């Protein structure tokens, strides 16, 4: 079969011939793959930078962690891969599959799950969002941030504030449901002043952070209290596009009612992951099929995987490989 294969961490994936996977265990089933999204998670695993990266295999490894395809009985599903999924065939887990509704394309369904997990899991299980709350999304111009706006609105957020550096994309977020936008291209003092003004008028309940780094330091700075009672904020770290470490003053932690947590692989419980497949993804796929979720996709053929792997996709689009 044809597949996207790497032989050493950090190398570009190759379009190559690879042995078709064979079912060996009861929980495995063979999927004829039709579409697979290229996510920051997949790129991190390939480069060896992500904490879930596996050891090198000198015989090569097919890349891709999930995908959309067709089972032998004709059922169209989204599924998590046991073998790499950017290939004509892949082994997937029977208990981590979601049948797809009519009305949603393969590429749309393939592009959604990583972003849904990166937003809905944080909102529902870490932040425990309640209708009527105010949500700040730090780094909302990327694909997952755009999904987070729509998911937060669906879950009942009353007000959504977003930050980012891409001015054009920031403006477009208003049409997705954002109420206020804050450019991170401003100087630090202007950003902090704007955030403090928002906090005074509409206290922020939840912060979803896809950037970390210096922008996270700004988030914590505006939260710092002065010894009075403060509004509780649930801060959830999801990504680290602006850097993996920050400086955090202990005085900030002592001066504000703050819940700090992370949302990602390893932090979710088995029950939460089960609900992702049983409830969250089916609901989001149905919303997309009904055109109630906007999913920004750009496609590339499997044969062009090496050429397109490091391509910067504009305007927060998700790159999806078609097979």
Vertex 173 angle, CA 170 and 178, to 5°? 115
**C-alpha–C-alpha distance, residues 281 and 151, integer Å:** 11
Q: How would you classify the pairing of strands 66-70 and 2-6? A: unpaired
Return the closest-CA partner of residue 111 out of 234, 294, 308.
Answer: 294
Percent of the chain with pLDDT over 90: 86
Q: How many Å apart are CA 230 and CA 42, to the nearest integer?
A: 39
Q: Is residue 209 part of a domain?
A: yes
Picking from 241, 262, 283, the residue at the C-terminal end of a domain is: 262
Contact 123, 99 (CB under 8 A): no
Residue 66 maps to which CATH number?
A: 3.90.180.10
Per-residue pLDDT, averaged over 139-162, amounts to 97
Phi, psi of 29 (to 5 degrees): -150, 150
Query: What pLDDT digit, counting tens, does each position of 176-195 carry?
Result: 999 999 999 999 999 999 99
Q: Examine the pLDDT at 209 and tell me if it is beyond 70.
A: yes
Q: Which of 190, 252, 186, 185 is nearest to 217 (CA)?
A: 252
Q: In the structure, what pLDDT confidence band is assigned to residue 49 with cuts at 50, 70 and 90?
A: low
Does residue 162 sit in the same domain as residue 202? yes
Pair 67, 125 in one domain: no
pLDDT value for 76: 98
Tens digits of per-residue pLDDT, 63-109? 999 999 999 999 999 999 999 999 999 999 999 999 999 999 999 99
**How many separate domains does the chain show?**
2
47 in any annotated domain: yes
> What mean pLDDT is reported for the chain?
94
CA distance 37 to 67: 7
Handedness of CA 266, 270, 274, 276 (dihedral sign): negative
Locate 37 and state its tokens.
């999204």
Phi then psi for 152, rounded to 5 degrees?
A: -60, -40
Q: Provide the domain limits for residue 7.
A: 2-112+295-322
Whether 43 has a pLDDT exceeding 90, the answer reads: no
pLDDT at 39: 86
Q: Which DSSP category does 291 fall into?
A: T
pLDDT at 319 over 70: yes
pTM for the whole thing? 0.92
Query: 3-state class of 225 per DSSP?
Result: coil
């Amino acid at each position: 079969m044809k597949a996207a294969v790497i032989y050493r961490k950090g190398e570009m994936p190759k379009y190559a011939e690879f042995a078709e996977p064979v079912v060996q265990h009861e929980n495995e089933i063979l999927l004829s793959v039709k579409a697979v999204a290229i996510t920051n998670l997949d790129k991190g695993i390939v480069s060896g930078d992500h904490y879930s990266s596996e050891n090198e295999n000198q015989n090569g490894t097919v890349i891709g962690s999930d995908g959309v395809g067709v089972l032998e009985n004709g059922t169209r599903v989204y599924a998590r891969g046991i073998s790499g999924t950017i290939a004509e065939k892949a082994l997937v887990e029977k208990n981590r599959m979601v049948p797809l509704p009519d009305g949603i394309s393969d590429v749309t369904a393939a592009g959604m799950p990583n972003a849904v997990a990166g937003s809905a899991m944080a909102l529902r299980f870490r932040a425990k969002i309640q209708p009527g709350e105010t949500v700040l999304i730090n780094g909302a111009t990327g694909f997952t941030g755009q999904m987070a706006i729509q998911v937060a609105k669906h879950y009942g957020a009353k007000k959504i504030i977003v930050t980012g550096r891409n001015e054009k994309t920031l403006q477009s977020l208003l049409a997705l449901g954002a109420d206020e936008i804050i450019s991170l291209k401003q100087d630090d003092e202007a950003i902090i002043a704007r955030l403090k003004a928002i906090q005074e008028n509409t206290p922020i309940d939840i912060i979803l952070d896809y950037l970390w780094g210096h922008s996270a330091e700004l988030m914590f700075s505006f939260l710092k209290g002065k010894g009075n009672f403060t509004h509780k904020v649930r801060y959830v770290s999801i990504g680290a596009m602006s850097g993996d470490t920050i400086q955090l003053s202990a005085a900030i932690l002592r001066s504000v009612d703050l819940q700090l947590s992370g949302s990602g692989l390893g932090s979710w419980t088995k029950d939460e992951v089960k609900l992702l497949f049983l409830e969250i993804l089916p609901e989001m796929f149905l919303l997309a099929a009904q055109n109630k979720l906007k999913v920004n996709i750009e496609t590339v053929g499997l044969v062009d995987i090496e050429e397109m792997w490091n391509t910067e996709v504009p305007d927060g689009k998700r790159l999806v490989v078609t097979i």
